[in-house]
Amino acid sequence: MTTVTERPAASPAPSAESRRDRRRRERIEEQDAAIPVELYGLKRGTVPVLTACCVLFAVFTLVPVAWIIFNATKTQANIFGTFGFWFARPFEFFHNFRMLFENVDDDGTYIQWFGNTALYAVLGGGGATALAAFAGYGFAMFRFRGSKVLFYIIIGSLLVPIGAITLPLYLVYAKAHLINSIWGLILPSMVAPVGVYLMRTYIGLSVPRELVDAARIDGAGEARIFFKIALPLMVPGLMTVLLLSVVGVWNNYFLPLIIFSDNNKFPLTVGMGLWSQHATTSGDQNLYPLIVMGGLVTIAPLIILFLILQRYWRSGMLLGSIAN
Amino acid sequence: MSGTAVSTPARSAPQAAPGSGFRVRPGHSAWARRRDRRGLAFVSPFLVAFTLFMIVPLAYAIYDSLFTSRIIGGTTFSGFSNYTQILTSGMFWSGVVRVIIFGAIQIPVMLIIAFFFATAFDLGVAKYGRSFRTIFFIPFAVPVVVAALMWGFLFEPVYGPFSHLANLFGFHNVDFLSSGLMLPSIIVIAIWEWTGYNSLILYTALRSVPRDVVEAAILDDTPLWKIIVKVKLPMVRPAIVMLIFLNTIGALQLFVEPLILNNYSAGVVTLNWTPVLYIFNTSINSAQYNLGAAMAVVLGLVIVAISVTSLLFRRDRGEVS
């Protein structure tokens, strides 16, 4: 009775299906779910006009991205002197990229900031996801004294704006000697009330109570039930929370701006902000190409991450937070 | 798990309890209570972090806001004097008014665009909807600092491509980052940044509208615009209300865009341009921490007040279960 009955591994998706097959299946499912356009009785030309609207907005969306790609290949003179939406000679992409590894004007090294950001995002985002998974599971599966009140307090804290909590954090850090400590950024990043909320909703819908109770009767410990039974069922929800938390840390600017005075601890956002400030005040010849290239290298990983993890992305979960 | 001592707990426990010496609520067995204590164990790591990094700082900020520190005389208790200073000076409120104007324009425009595209994707009346959805979502992955930097280059008054474009259309020497156009420019940036995200959420909400409702409307020969306005829109109204609420909280905290754009156009963005900028400049740059803490508290209260009002409004309409 000390072993849990072996259950078939709860894999989130059958892996036999290839990427292309899955894409095709999803597209067909989507088409099946939609009502055929002909039935709406549209005037002729409506579909092309609407598609054209989409193209226009897509152009608007891609203009800054295109600009940053073209200009990452240019010298400072060409960034300002040539047409913004095409290449120019000399082609300086690799030179600009190499500069990211150098310490310019003692502001700090881009590559160091990149590493910092990745570290903060992994620890902060991962920690936020783990804490949200535990707490969401606790709130979804157990009822204990004060659990409702605690949950409402956590939801209520969603109203507390980042802009209003950041300075208080700084004041506490000044007392607790956490200024310039990377933990001063990572630990508060782990507090994601919205993640707790999303995980509670998701677990309530996707982890059957009967399954958990059955495992208990078989004598499985709570930790074992969580890791072996519940966790595999939570994966899609966890991915959504992880993406949201990682993006949150990757984007964070205000808190690291005020708690770090040591340039070697900056995340990308603060480093780039510093460069942009110095580019205008010091008139340095090299900073603008660096800012453009740095911007490109900053946004590329997240866009790629999103495209890869798209199938895990549960926009329905964001909606779940709204339905209540 | 812990060896043979653990016996399989009886599931229907209330009857078994009287002899055990403590009161048992009906329907809540000793076993269940022990289990629920473990629930607290799952929740506690988050609670510890939540207390340390949310509750404690807030409490400390409120405490700190009641003091005043001077170079001569040290820190003394001053009651609500920081608050009266903030509430009566125009510096703080002019920023509040600016972010309200910002939100009042940006949020409706963005939501209309987002709803327009979400509807088009949902109905399938635009081609390549899947690809467009992905493209529109890209800005969500761009950190606001980087977005502001990119748009700063595009809006730059002397070399920027947008002022060149304006020149071509006969508008000479347009400075998108001048004091008159700074706010509209930031509105454009915010629309760029958030429309795709809002559109995706609305799209998901629209997808969940039951298909047979729409089919019935079609069979009744209801024109499409009427289906959208009379059938779909009411069913996604909770989602829209929630988006208004979330976007309002975001808009009131406007900070990064003006701070970064100020690098391209020095002097336009004043120290108190937005409330969060004013908090930043008062506390971090001028070291008036007590005053800054009081401002953070006031800003928090303003945002809570607006949020609660919007939620009450929602409750009045009977949309909260």
In the block, residue with structure tokens 């740059």: B285
Residue of A nearest to B203 (CA): A315
Chain B: give the shortest CA distance to residue A15, in Å. Answer: 23
**CB atoms inside a 10 Å sphere around CB B77:** 8
Among the listed residues B103, B104, B85, B106, the one whose alpha carbon sits nearest the alpha carbon of residue B282: B85
Among the listed residues B252, B251, B250, B245, the one whose alpha carbon sits nearest the alpha carbon of residue B295: B252
Instruction: Confirm whether A55 is domain-assigned.
Output: yes
pLDDT at residue A315 above 70? no
CB of B117 less than 8 A from some CB of A? yes
What residues of chain A lie within 8 A of the CB of B150, using their CB?
64-65, 67-68, 295
The minimal CB distance from A131 to the residues B46, B61, B224 is found for: B46
Gap between the Cα atoms of A78 and A280, Å rounded: 17
Contact B125 A40 (CB under 8 A): yes
Q: In terms of domains, do A123 and A62 share one?
A: no
Instruction: Confirm whether A105 is domain-assigned.
Output: no
Instruction: Confirm whether A212 is domain-assigned.
Output: yes
Q: In terms of domains, do A128 and A162 share one?
A: yes
CB of B112 less than 8 A from some CB of A? no
Q: In terms of domains, do A114 and A92 share one?
A: no
Chain A: give the shortest CA distance to residue B19, in Å. Answer: 23
Residue of A nearest to B205 (CA): A319
Chain A: give the shortest CA distance to residue B233, in Å. Answer: 15
- DSSP annotation of A263: G
Q: In terms of domains, do A83 and A163 share one?
A: no
DSSP string, A83-150: -TTS--SS--HHHHHHHTTSB-TTS-BHHHHHHHHHHHIIIIIHHHHHHHHHHHHHHHH---TTHHHH
Instruction: Confirm whether A138 is domain-assigned.
Output: yes
Q: In terms of domains, do A89 and A138 share one?
A: no
Confidence of residue B185 (pLDDT cuts 50, 70, 90): very high
Q: In terms of domains, do A288 and A188 share one?
A: yes
Expressed as residue numbers, the domain containing A127 is 110-323
CA-CA-CA-CA torsion sign (B92, A167, B257, A158): negative
Q: How many domains does chain A have?
A: 2
Among the listed residues A118, A114, A117, A130, the one whose alpha carbon sits nearest the alpha carbon of residue A242: A130
Contact A295 B296 (CB under 8 A): no
pLDDT in tens, A24-58: 777 676 666 667 776 777 777 788 889 999 999 99
CB of B72 less than 8 A from some CB of A? no
The minimal CB distance from A142 to the residues B36, B161, B242 is found for: B36
Q: What is the mean pLDDT of chain A?
A: 83
pLDDT at residue B9 above 90? no
Exposure string for A153-177, b = 16+ CB within 10 A, e = fewer: ebbebbbbbbbbbbbbbbbbbeeee
Instruction: Confirm whether A7 is domain-assigned.
Output: no
CB of B54 less than 8 A from some CB of A? yes
Of A44, A76, A99, which closes a domain?
Answer: A99
Lowest mean pLDDT among A120-124, B14-18, B140-144, B266-270: B14-18
Instruction: Confirm whether A27 is domain-assigned.
Output: no
Contact B253 A51 (CB under 8 A): no
DSSP string, A201-238: HHHHHHS-HHHHHHHHHTT--HHHIIIIIIHHHHHHHH
Mean pLDDT of B6-10: 40
Residue A266: CATH number of its domain? 1.10.3720.10
Chain B: give the shortest CA distance to residue A299, in Å. Answer: 5
Burial class (CB in 10 A: 0-12, 13-18, 19+), B204: buried
Contact B296 A58 (CB under 8 A): no
Instruction: Confirm whether A243 is domain-assigned.
Output: yes
Domains and CATH numbers, chain B: 17-55 (no CATH), 86-316 (1.10.3720.10)
DSSP string, B104-160: HHHHHHHHHHHHHHHHHHHHT-STTHHHHHHHHHGGGGS-HHHHHHHHHHHH-TTT-
Look up residue A292 and give its two tokens: 């453009």
Residue of B nearest to A164 (CA): B296
Side chain identity, residue A49: V
Stronger pLDDT, A181 or B77, i.e. the higher one: A181
Q: In terms of domains, do A180 and A287 share one?
A: yes
Q: In terms of domains, do A253 and A186 share one?
A: yes
Of A63, A80, A99, which closes a domain?
Answer: A99
In the block, residue with structure tokens 């806001």: B65
Helix (H), strand (E) counts: chain B: 15, 2
Residue of A nearest to B8 (CA): A217
Gap between the Cα atoms of A136 and A142, Å rounded: 10
What residues of chain A lie within 8 A of the CB of B252, using their CB?
161, 163
Task: Enumerate residues 234 to 273 of chain B having a beta carbon within 8 A of any beta carbon in chain A.
Answer: 238-239, 242-243, 249, 252-253, 255-256, 259-260, 263-264, 266
Residue B7, pLDDT score: 40
Contact A64 B116 (CB under 8 A): no
pLDDT in tens, A257-311: 999 988 899 999 999 999 888 887 766 667 888 899 999 999 888 888 877 776 6
Q: In terms of domains, do A93 and A235 share one?
A: no
In percent, how much of chain A has pLDDT > 90? 31
Cβ-Cβ pairs closer than 8 A, A with B, add up to: 319
Q: What is the mean pLDDT of chain B?
A: 82
Confidence of residue B24 (pLDDT cuts 50, 70, 90): very low
Exposure string for A96-114, b = 16+ CB within 10 A, e = fewer: bbebbeeebeebbbbebbb
Chain B: give the shortest CA distance to residue A4, in Å. Answer: 9
Instruction: Confirm whether A2 is domain-assigned.
Output: no
Task: Find how far residue B5's CA is from the centre of its chain.
Answer: 52
Burial class (CB in 10 A: 0-12, 13-18, 19+), B180: exposed
B28, B42, B200, best to mutate vs chain A, most A CBs in 10 Å: B42
Gap between the Cα atoms of A195 and A71, Å rounded: 38
Contact B253 A163 (CB under 8 A): yes
Q: In terms of domains, do A190 and A89 share one?
A: no
Gap between the Cα atoms of B238 and A198, Å rounded: 17
Q: What angle do CA A144, A139, A237 make, to 5 degrees?
A: 165
Contact B299 A305 (CB under 8 A): no
Q: In terms of domains, do A119 and A73 share one?
A: no
- DSSP annotation of B7: P
Contact A141 B58 (CB under 8 A): no
Gap between the Cα atoms of B215 and A237, Å rounded: 32
Look up residue A67 and give its two tokens: 């600009």
What residues of chain A lie within 8 A of the CB of B61, using their CB?
167-168, 171
A49, A171, A178, A252, best to mutate vs chain B, most B CBs in 10 Å: A171
Of A99, A127, A142, which closes a domain?
Answer: A99
Which residues share a beta bridge with B271?
none
Contact B39 A168 (CB under 8 A): no
In percent, how much of chain A has pLDDT > 70? 85
Task: Find how far residue A107's CA is from the centre of its chain.
Answer: 27
The minimal CB distance from B300 to the residues A2, A160, A268 is found for: A160
What residues of chain B lie within 8 A of the CB of A191, using their CB?
46, 49-50, 53-54
Residue B16, pLDDT score: 40
Chain B: give the shortest CA distance to residue A247, in Å. Answer: 7
Q: In terms of domains, do A131 and A230 share one?
A: yes
CB of B138 less than 8 A from some CB of A? yes
Contact A169 B127 (CB under 8 A): no
What residues of chain A lie within 8 A of the CB of B195, using their CB?
57
pLDDT in tens, B280-304: 999 888 888 899 999 999 998 888 8
Those residues whose C-beta lies under 8 Å from the C-beta of residue A132, and which sit 6 or more positions away, are: A192, A195, A196, A198, A199, A241, A245, B46
DSSP string, A19-74: HHHHHHHHHHHHHHHSPPGGGG-PPTTHHHHHHHHHHHHHHHHHHHHHHHHHHTTS
Here the ipTM equals 0.82
